[in-house]
Homo-oligomer: A and B are copies of this chain.
Amino acid sequence: MTEVRGYAARDAQSPLAPFSFTRRSPGPHDIEIEILYCGICHSDLHQARNDWRNSLYPMVPGHEIVGRVTSVGEHVKKLKAGDFAAVGCMVDSCRHCSACDDDLEQYCEHGATWTYNSKERNSDALTFGGYSEKIVVEERFVAKVPPHLDLKATAPLLCAGITTWSPLRHWKVGPGQKVGVIGLGGLGHMGIKFAKALGAHVVMITTSPGKAKDAKKLGADEVLLSRDAAAMAAQAASFDFLLNTVPVPHDLNPYLALLKRDRTMVLVGVLTELEPPVQGGALIGGRKSVAGSGIGGMKETQEMLDFCGEHNIVADIEVVPIQAVNEAYERLLKNDVKYRFVIDIESLRKEAA
């Protein structure tokens, strides 16, 4: 066991504060990583504050983790000391169900073990995330970071990246297709970059005229204002795919009208109820689908990182010291970030030193 320092929420009300805990010593299949950067995901905030009523305390959030391998167990083949490594939303799964067999550990039929706010496999010990100096994870759940990527801007790929990458690949987005990305935040900005790099004609769909310029800088070919009924009508039945990243309940029906026959809108942002209900007729008239997609498996996480390495894709970020995490949460609530906060974990080491 090693003593590790981090920042934790002690309960739903208190701000995050310094916290010490222990990590296991690396076993034969484990990789020990010195954490260098950790992205701040919206879900960190929701879980720290128990918004989803499933929080376990003390909680060390963080599942967009990149760092340097410090040691590996004797059976580890994927990485060696000194390599750059990444850990995302999961650190374990059952490994024998059909989802795990299909490299989709996030849908593990016995429940994946999440990087934080979860319990270690077959144990009551809590998992602790990336707002900390160090993490020890089994090889399967560690990805290799292509060497020349900007490391701090790579961190958000582990959640915001894979969450948008996975559905774009699963629904086979590519050249010749018109793809809409709904909502421009942490997820949406990665959705635009990926859809564009995959060869699609990308339309950023937003309620905010102010986001048009940035959307184009990120790679969008067009911007469609969803409150402009005439503009929406002009693009009716013209989209091959819609990636809906909006994180709050909203009306899906106007977006369904944008889809061509036999096409799908995938929800990745909203975990709660939609508002108002979907209209059966909006699906029936054109055999359309509304689907959901959750993060991605470890195999596709590695594929995404490799693709990012080839295309030099990273997130647009703002780096903050860990001492500013509570302030960053407040700014996140106001969407005041372009487009992801990343904690420089060096600030934690300096604080302790």
> A274-B277, A280-B273 known; A285 and B107 CB under 8 Å?
yes
A99 engages B261 (CB within 8 Å): yes
Closest to A286 in B: B107
**Residues in A266-307 with C-beta less than 8 Å from chain B:** 267-294
Specify which chain B residues have a CB less than 8 angstroms from the CB of A293 in the assembled complex: 284, 287
Specify which chain B residues have a CB less than 8 angstroms from the CB of A280 in the assembled complex: 267, 269-274, 292
The interface size of chain A toward B, counting residues with CB under 8 Å, comes to 38
A294 engages B289 (CB within 8 Å): no
Q: Is A170 an interface residue (CB 8 A)?
A: yes
B287 engages A294 (CB within 8 Å): yes
Bound: A107/B282 CA distance, A: 12
What residues of chain A have their CB less than 8 Å away from a CB belonging to chain B?
98-99, 104, 107, 109, 170, 237, 249, 261, 264, 267-294
Most chain B CB within 10 A, of A98, A109, A261, is at A261
A104 engages B284 (CB within 8 Å): no
Shortest beta-carbon distance, A63 to chain B, in Å?
Answer: 16
B273 engages A278 (CB within 8 Å): yes
B273 engages A276 (CB within 8 Å): yes
Bound: A347/B52 CA distance, A: 63
